[in-house]
Structure 1
């Protein structure tokens, strides 16, 4: 039975999947827009630091405001309405809720939310991939020990890439490479919230209209988010990562199977079985026609002459050798697709991407010369960007994970372009996030 049919059955039997949403910003608002149009689900509660902002977003996406008047979780369940609070613990402690959707974008808070939800027997769909990037494998382990599901969020590119990789392997194809697209030029690594909109291709007026956060969008532009998402993919699929950061080879959709071959065969990969990000810009800044900027892809290999001939007979677009083929989606719909993860986790007990190994890490790297007393402001800010590295390399250097580079004071000089290590900062060792990260390092 399809997920949609199962949801319809839940609707008919009046046994909906009950959801608690933590964080009702842009991503959360996109998911909120789809909930009233999806059978068999009930948003029981929203926790947000600003309940008024959550109500504004609900109104913006078209909710009936009479449906958000519940004064408690119990009342929300009884009246099939929604309870709004600034206390996230009320959601994770509520026995009526089946699935928590963690959507804060704050990696340190997200770890705490996930751990508490596991302890209360709740599945978690984690939109805050920044948290997954620095301790996802251990979060998945703790979820399994609690007999619940921990999952990446469909609509975000990592879960969609994992889906393509799973498709390829389940069909018997070896995965040569997988990843996403991105608008990239090397100097974007220096971008700050003050420069993001010009580089991104939006006007400040469009950004304000959409309620877009310049720091968050800058984390995409400066390479932090592509590194974070590539880390999540590598740790959830077992794919390897480049030895010194993403290369961002420029390519049209047509050329992806050409550039995602090993270097020994004219491509850009150090070896087969890696993650990479394709740039939608040529090195001189020219826009590439028919790009993969907002999409995802997987490149597979025909291991036999017969399979290669099948590619040819069915007009599959390959590299010139006929052996490498790329399947792709040119778009992802972000929060509008989260319902797939919620339904999969609740009804099939299957994650839509879950880390099981520690292949990759994202290390905070200086955007400018940093001096003792400077305070790091995390991904997308003015001080650091995230560099993708093999986990073994990061571990050996004591790399500071980008997800923990928030409101942390620098104690030693760090040159621009240098990756930071633990000894460069005064880290707060009392947080769940720090404890879980160190536990994961010890485990692996």
Structure 2
């Protein structure tokens, strides 16, 4: 509750938190919009493969084009920042090498995200990882790497996983038992077959809207087909110690008033296998009709208490409960994504505390299955593409069956024919041994195996 005061003190002292941002897409642009307005924070370097796009994104977010100057390397970038301007570079590794306190990784690309985070952390620079796709592949390793070098590795506040972690932490701090936690989304079973060609139609976007730009069909398809939900719930599980169910996410159609009834164990009349599950509810039914009072943009936690007195208080204070009154839910209907990133920046730099991190280790995994029947020799095009969709499973099951993590699936070549909905295993594909992400994943797997 004191972050704003602490930022103001840094501003008064002329010692702003020095920030580097990698990635100027939609999420990055939202971050830019608020970094400009935060007291006690200085954006020192902005990195993007397309410097022109990055400058345009910054201008659209309220910055002056003159605030940015091209820099060829870290030394030039540091000189630019000391002169009071923002260095514009075309390499995330250059940004990670600059004189900064916090690196925000927002490329959305697993390989790049892991590399940039690793390079920054080994220099003792805190990392706020927006690229949750990388976190679910090697987050536990990056977290350990951060601690080794006296840095903090953190989820990005404003994105749903970090806000879910906050709700879980709130409930546990108060002494409640967390029964379930998760988010809302739009999902129907038919979306599993969606491709980048059909995603926009399911969202109802018009050609005029799409023509305005900024619409990434693979990204939208990943949200639609359930892959992004699996990624986010695995991040939550690894951070909080909650589990993902063996059978995957339910995507149960639910209003906010249904949460306390549905998101509880089956033995108590709910739909979950047991207490302590990360799960996702849908704003639409199987026929794609909308549920009233849904949670499409929000997050939730369901909880109970062993205290009969506390349970009575749930109802007395107007909370939505199940019929017994023993289970209740708290939810946040919206999240502002990159506009809220300042909480993470301030928390890691001023408190040395992440807004969510994989403290629980490798507890869950995002694996992939074929969207359609595929032939030997075909290439898997990764998250949100034409070939596969992602599902969440317990990490032990993924290890036992040697299933391929979704984050490592891009560009893999099939070694044999497979049917639709076939879980992709290591024996089905050939890996790119030159991948830095794959190298880190092997290191993480070795650490996990040694600990088991």
**Where in structure 2 are the equivalents of 1:289-438 lying within 5 Å?**
289-356=292-359, 357-438=361-442
Which of residues 107, 113, 117 is equivalent to 2:116? 113
SS at match of 1:83: strand
Please state how far the C-alpha of 1:412 moved relative to its aligned partner: 1.6
TM-score, scaled relative to structure 2: 0.96
**Where in structure 2 are the equivalents of 1:36-435 lying within 5 Å?**
36-69=36-69, 71=71, 72-94=76-98, 96-209=99-212, 211-356=214-359, 357-435=361-439
Check whether the contact 1:70–1:81 (CA below 8 A) recurs between aligned residues. no
Check whether the contact 1:192–1:218 (CA below 8 A) recurs between aligned residues. yes
Alignment deviations for residues 315-370 of structure 1 (CA, whole Å, 9 cap, x no partner):
22211110111110111111111111111111111100000222110002100111
Instruction: Count the aligned residue pairs.
Output: 443
Check whether the contact 1:165–1:175 (CA below 8 A) recurs between aligned residues. yes
TM-score, scaled relative to structure 1: 0.97
Please state how far the C-alpha of 1:210 moved relative to its aligned partner: 5.3
Q: Which runs of 5+ in 2 are unaligned?
A: none
In the alignment, the residues of structure 2 paired with residue 88 and residue 281 of structure 1 have an alpha-carbon distance, to the nearest angstrom, of 39
Runs of 4+ in 1 over 6 A off after TM superposition: none
In the alignment, the residues of structure 1 paired with residue 70 and residue 285 of structure 2 have an alpha-carbon distance, to the nearest angstrom, of 53
Alignment deviations for residues 72-116 of structure 1 (CA, whole Å, 9 cap, x no partner):
32333222210111122222112x211110011110111111111
In the alignment, the residues of structure 1 paired with residue 293 and residue 46 of structure 2 have an alpha-carbon distance, to the nearest angstrom, of 39
SS at match of 1:177: strand
Residue equivalent to 2:31: 31
In the alignment, the residues of structure 2 paired with residue 209 and residue 167 of structure 1 have an alpha-carbon distance, to the nearest angstrom, of 40
Superposition RMSD on alpha carbons, in Å? Answer: 1.2
Check whether the contact 1:197–1:204 (CA below 8 A) recurs between aligned residues. no
In the alignment, the residues of structure 1 paired with residue 36 and residue 390 of structure 2 have an alpha-carbon distance, to the nearest angstrom, of 37
In the alignment, the residues of structure 1 paired with residue 144 and residue 208 of structure 2 have an alpha-carbon distance, to the nearest angstrom, of 44
Please state how far the C-alpha of 1:222 moved relative to its aligned partner: 0.7
In the alignment, the residues of structure 2 paired with residue 206 and residue 21 of structure 1 have an alpha-carbon distance, to the nearest angstrom, of 28
In the alignment, the residues of structure 1 paired with residue 79 and residue 446 of structure 2 have an alpha-carbon distance, to the nearest angstrom, of 45
Q: Which runs of 5+ in 1 are unaligned?
A: none
